[in-house]
Amino acid sequence: MVLSMRFDRRILALVAVAVFTSIVFASVFVYYPVSVAVSPVAPPVYFEYGTNANQPDLGGANTIAVNLGSNKTSLEITIHPTYQVSYYKNISLIVNGDSKTYYVTLKVVTTASGLPANSKLVLYVYSKGAARSLSGHPTPTPSGYHTSLDLTTTSQTPQIAITAGNAIELDVYVYIPEGYQLPASVNAQLLLVYSPSTETPP
């Protein structure tokens, strides 16, 4: 009985191995052709110089330095604020040069760190040609803007619709309270994300 039982187990094991082998090695693979065509286009949304780009800034020969990439798909801004509120108006544009609406999101990737406590570094987005107004005392703040982006935190704007042939303007607001040592340099990095769809970007 014991021998027979062992024999039965061996038979079952051999059958199981045979079935497993037939499953593994009996797979079939079907190949269908697929063609992917890539036809690059000129960027429909791009950066442009604002009216105050590369104009005189605070301190010696400093300027409100605005540099665009060779295809206007990258932007570098260098400003030279001081204590209290420094407001930089219309230093760059985001332009929709296409014939349809695009939805733009601005997203902070690397936050600005190293500013004194209670400082503020904010990007303000305005409709093209919109009036600016700062009010309040002792620290005036802007109003009438489309949306804003705090560059000291990881955040992003809601989607901004730019209709065909239109643009939005970028301002930078800096507040540095008195009584602190000024940092040598502070940097923030952002991404401009846009799409003809209102779907949330990944």
Q: Is residue 61 part of a domain?
A: yes
- Section 51-77 average pLDDT: 98
Q: Is residue 137 part of a domain?
A: yes
In this structure, of 7-11, 100-104, 121-125, 185-189, the range with the lowest mean pLDDT score is 7-11
Contact criterion met (CB below 8 Å) for 168 and 128: yes
Residue 181: pLDDT above 60?
A: yes
> What tokens were used for 79?
């400003």
Q: Is residue 14 part of a domain?
A: no
Contacts of 3 (CB under 8 A, 6+ apart): none
Q: What is the pLDDT at residue 13?
A: 60
Residue 188 belongs to domain spanning: 45-195
Work out how many domains the chain is built from and give that number: 1
Q: Is residue 36 part of a domain?
A: no
> What tokens were used for 188?
């923030």
Q: Is residue 27 part of a domain?
A: no
Q: Is residue 183 part of a domain?
A: yes
Question: What is the reported pTM?
Answer: 0.84
> What tokens were used for 69?
């990439």
Residue 7: pLDDT above 50?
A: no
* Strands in 29-101 per DSSP E: 45-49, 65-68, 75-78, 84-96
Q: Is residue 19 part of a domain?
A: no
User: Which carries the bigger pLDDT value, residue 11 or residue 121?
Assistant: 121
Model confidence at 5, pLDDT cuts 50, 70, 90, reads very low
Contacts of 187 (CB under 8 A, 6+ apart): 110, 112
Q: Is residue 114 part of a domain?
A: yes
> What tokens were used for 181?
């040592």
Alpha helix ranges (H) inside the chain: 2-25
Q: What is the pLDDT at residue 63?
A: 98
Residues recorded for the chain = 202
Residue 9: pLDDT above 80?
A: no
User: Which carries the bigger pLDDT value, residue 14 or residue 187?
Assistant: 187
> What integer best gives the mean pLDDT of the chain?
91
Model confidence at 27, pLDDT cuts 50, 70, 90, reads confident
Q: What is the pLDDT at residue 202?
A: 85
- Section 178-189 average pLDDT: 96
